Structure 1
Amino acid sequence: MIDFLSLNIITFVSTLVFLGLWFIFSSNRKWNIVLGLLFFISLAFNLGVNYLFSIGPLKYFYFSKNLLLIGFFGMVFNWVKHNKIALFIAVAASIVLSFPLFNLPIPITLIPEDIHQMMEEGELIIEINEDQLNDVQKLIEPYDGKIVKAFHPDKANEFLNRFYIVDLPSEQAHAASKLLQQLEDESIILYGEYNDEISITPIESNQKIKEDRDYGTNDPLAEKQWAMNNLNFHQLHGLIINNKDKIKKKVVVAVLDTGIDAQHEDLKTAVHPDFQNVKDPVGHGTHCAGIVAAITNNKKGISSMAFYDDLIEIQPIKVLNSFGFGTQAQIINGMIEAVDNGADVLSLSLGGLSDNYKQRAYSAAVAYANDQNRIVVVSAGNSSGNASDYSPANVDGVICVAATNETNQMANFSNHIDDIDWGIAAPGVNILSTYKNNSYKALNGTSMAAPFVASTAALIKAFYPDIQSHEFYELIRFTAIPSNDEAFCPILQPASALELLLDGWESSR
């Protein structure tokens, strides 16, 4: 069955081909009419694919991006239309280029102004010493800019306290790159980067889910959760039951996302009492939360790794707005908030292309979490590229998660983790989980893979609260199985990890 990503690009390329042929045969009246009709039919199919299978308001932005690319190539075709050879070359080149261009993030210019205003203001994140503050203020005065403290951790942290947000008025926002260059050229900052816009990119699954499985729980939708078999939930639940007396604590997992439908029938008792009024207008955060800790054996919905209700508690941290967009500063502040609120594990199913390989602001936030014995899990990204080009996937100290399919192969949309120090893979195709408005839905994405690892981290911490991030990664990497293709893609095996730990792996090291 073709998934959304494949269907989206097939209809997009078909539209592009018919557009090119329309230009090539423009002098032939009959073919001109036929190819013009085929172009608009293909465009309508692409709109339908985006509307039916992408989630929430993001569907409009995905189609807008496709339309922007088609418009760009149309201008190129029009420019060379009088030279048939050049036109043929342009059409062929557009098809080849459309594949890498198709995976680019949604341009901020496509986001309506009222939605953009819902994001945190501030174009730049800079790192300075306190004695440099006056120099920065003087330099940004001609731009009518403001500078404010970026982060406010509860625990004193010299690294995080050096970061500031530079906010320019909307009419000066275009000057952000020039200002950053000035700040760097005059050496009045230690480091600077853009306050990147972040969006989520999961896709609704159109694949039929087999219903012939029995995983030993009474949740009616468990038979549709193929990941329970690949991750050996049956053995995992058995280990939890047989070793219940060894559980040391209830572990808090912070889901940094679009919020959570805290009143969902399969999540309500798993969500921290202080967050019972949280909503999720998009559905993405609710989906991730269900993978982490949907209530199991309650004769409702789906199952999760959390066999007992007192194993994992979910803490929703809203870092993305009602349209699934946010900024780097919002995410970092969310990470700090999660740590300060006592979360043991941070699950981030989000990210974007890095504009700076150093990523010092993210690194400071991850170090703040790791130093307090918190495990940070992030998704690798859905662009079929290299996760090392995406943040926070490429930040030292995070566990970066790629996605696999039912046959234990790397998902075609998943970013690769070859160059990631702490890389692992987990199921991310056709994953059924909780969704907004007390419903259930199957989605695709590394967004779905990361919560499986976050849930595993929570279970391990329930038995061994003091386990450090590097120790946890060593454990899951040691017990992982290889994927069934040539990709570097060690696949998570939570039951094997917990069994090895219970057998004394920690004390034998």
Structure 2
Amino acid sequence: MYTLGFVLTLLGLMGVMLDRKGLEALSYAVVPGLGLWLFGLVTQVSTLGDFFSYSFTDLLFYGGAAMLFRGLSQSKHLAIPASIVALLMMAFFHQNIRPQAEDMPATTQYGLAAEGELLVELSDEDNLERWKRWIGAQGWTTERAFAPEEGARTDLDDYFTVNIPANELSNLEEIITRIESTGWTDWVEPNETIQIELSPARILPKLNKILGVNDPAVEQQWALQVLEMNKLYDLLNSDKVKTRKKAIVAILDTGVDAGHEDLKDNFYSIAKKYNDDPQGHGTHCAGIAGAVTDNGVGVASFARTGDYFQITSVKVLKAGGSGSQQDIINGIITAVDKGADVLSMSLGGFSTQSRQRAYSEAVRYATDRNVIVVASAGNSNRDAAGFSPVNANGVIGVSAIDNQLQRASFSNKVNRIGMAVAAPGVGIYSTKPNNNYAAHNGTSMAAPFVSGLLGIMKSIRPELTNKEAFKILQQTGKNTRDTANTGRLIQPAAAVEAVLDNNL
């Protein structure tokens, strides 16, 4: 809408300024073009500041275009072809100088899984054979969706996928109704997919923070100052902290580059197939939570020493950054069954349903085994209650703030999420595959700050529950400039002190 309006306005200006016979009709495009441009701009930007900034830039373009077309009108023979070339060049130039991913994080996209478009919970295993026969009679196929080790403790082993031919997907609501009418199901929901995208960010001015570590990129990690990591490092170096186990923080994402120079010494492998990252998103999140600190390489993290927790990886997203609800839930089950203490999910998307039962059941499977689940709030500047899996029962959701403690312009609001906190999520510098580093924006970057802190807390008190952990994070956190919509900003040293003091 925005681009169409911009081009129509330029065409209208060309018709007005050239004043050539045959082009009069183009002049009528100015008013509708400006209307579409304004509507598209309002729906595209997320803050009033962005609106004024972008509209000012566009109005300058329009003024320059009008002057250019007026100048070209003096030529009798070249006015029209030259104006067309100028129009195309201006449109191209405009699109390429506009703030793109560098300034405006892409919103998460969603859709249906390519196969197994529906997730169905059967009410009784005795109906399984009849279910399979009925599904076959419809021309569809079905498979068991999940296989948790402790099936008796969850309903997840009652879930099946239904694979529907592409030519029938337009009737999905009718198909769901038909399935529900069999009387053999407790629940039917779409097997939705999400698509994560990394947003490059400008690195903020270097900060001279005395953290007592020698990681060379610390000066580019402004978040360490806001989190007062120097206090945490001092506490972890003291005799006051005693660990009872080495916790495991699982990054459920695109994988993690297990051989990265700043991750390998703090990485625990669940399976070799998870130990690479063709996309880069998972590796970036892993570095935020647990890059090796004080090793003279790269960045610093919560892993002040290797005594508290290790990072592991479970791939739930494909190389392109997409994954289905089934993929993510299977990742939750795998991580829990392999002994993870904290699950960090920097993923999600807008849900077409008010609630998704399978996600909540998967999180319950984790919390029943005393595993804390963390999820990013989402990057759409909307209500996080409409996004999954952050809206699942039992999840600690994480919004993003900038270096002024403002809610990041893209961050979803978490005021309707039962347990939610805030962490830095703008210009976050961290690890990338093949020993690289970069800064990115997103609530994806905020979530692993919380996960890394929880890794330390669980190493000190392994029995710490999700509700107890959230209570500590909330009580020890500090207010942001929009606390109602962000939750409180985590303060690591104070949270660890509260765990040590048994202050639940």
Report the CA distance between 1:434 and its aligned residue: 0.7
Structure 1 pair 401/104, CA: closer, same or farther in 2 (3 Å)? closer
Report the CA distance between 1:30 and its aligned residue: 3.3
Give the structure 1 partner of residue 121 of structure 2: 127
Deviations 1:178-202 (A, max 9, x none): 3113223454421111110111133
Give the structure 2 partner of residue 248 of structure 1: 244
Structure 1 pair 253/104, CA: closer, same or farther in 2 (3 Å)? closer
Work out which of the residue numbers 406, 409, 428 in structure 2 matches 1:409.
Answer: 406
Gaps of 5+ in 2: 21-25, 47-104
Work out which of the residue numbers 180, 188, 192 in structure 2 matches 1:196.
Answer: 192
Deviations 1:398-456 (A, max 9, x none): 00000011111111110010111101000111111111111111111000100011111
Are residue 19 (structure 1) and residue 17 (structure 2) matched? no
Structure 1 pair 29/182, CA: closer, same or farther in 2 (3 Å)? farther
Work out which of the residue numbers 445, 448, 451 in structure 2 matches 1:448.
Answer: 445
Report the CA distance between 1:107 and its aligned residue: 6.2
Report the CA distance between 1:220 and its aligned residue: 0.8
**SS state at 2:160 partner:** strand
Structure 1 pair 92/143, CA: closer, same or farther in 2 (3 Å)? farther
Kept after mapping to 2: 8 A contact 1:386/1:415: yes
Are residue 151 (structure 1) and residue 139 (structure 2) matched? no
The TM-score with structure 1 as length reference comes to 0.80
Find the aligned partners of 1:266 and 1:413 in 2 and give their Cα distance.
29
**Structure of larger gyration radius:** 2
**SS state at 2:302 partner:** coil
**SS state at 1:424 partner:** strand
Alignment of 1:293-308 (within 5 A): 293-308=290-305
Deviations 1:133-163 (A, max 9, x none): 4554455335421111110000123411221
Matched pairs, number: 437
Give the structure 2 partner of residue 106 of structure 1: 109
Structure 1 pair 274/500, CA: closer, same or farther in 2 (3 Å)? closer
Structure 1 pair 475/107, CA: closer, same or farther in 2 (3 Å)? closer
Gaps of 5+ in 1: 1-11, 33-77, 109-115
Letter in 1 for 2:121: E
**SS state at 1:492 partner:** coil
Find the aligned partners of 1:320 and 1:172 in 2 and give their Cα distance.
26
Report the CA distance between 1:106 and its aligned residue: 3.4
Report the CA distance between 1:242 and its aligned residue: 1.0
Find the aligned partners of 2:129 and 2:11 in 1 and give their Cα distance.
58
Kept after mapping to 1: 8 A contact 2:204/2:220: no
Letter in 2 for 1:256: L
Find the aligned partners of 2:259 and 2:483 in 1 and give their Cα distance.
43
Bigger shift: residues 399-408 or 19-28: 19-28
How much identity, in percent, do the aligned residues show?
Answer: 38
Find the aligned partners of 2:261 and 2:19 in 1 and give their Cα distance.
56
Across the aligned residues of Structure 1 and Structure 2, the Cα RMSD in angstroms comes to 2.6
Bigger shift: residues 157-166 or 85-94: 85-94
Find the aligned partners of 1:436 and 1:258 in 2 and give their Cα distance.
11
Deviations 1:324-356 (A, max 9, x none): 011000000000000000001000000011122
Letter in 2 for 1:455: G
Kept after mapping to 2: 8 A contact 1:263/1:276: no
Give the structure 1 partner of residue 490 of structure 2: 492
Kept after mapping to 1: 8 A contact 2:4/2:33: no
Report the CA distance between 1:128 and its aligned residue: 1.5
**SS state at 1:347 partner:** strand
Kept after mapping to 2: 8 A contact 1:147/1:165: yes
Find the aligned partners of 2:257 and 2:474 in 1 and give their Cα distance.
33
Report the CA distance between 1:461 and its aligned residue: 0.7
Report the CA distance between 1:16 and its aligned residue: 4.5
Kept after mapping to 1: 8 A contact 2:245/2:460: yes
Deviations 1:87-122 (A, max 9, x none): 65444434434458x9764365xxxxxxx9xx7621
Are residue 346 (structure 1) and residue 343 (structure 2) matched? yes
Are residue 383 (structure 1) and residue 386 (structure 2) matched? no
Alignment of 1:265-344 (within 5 A): 265-275=261-271, 278-344=275-341
Find the aligned partners of 1:88 and 1:406 in 2 and give their Cα distance.
36
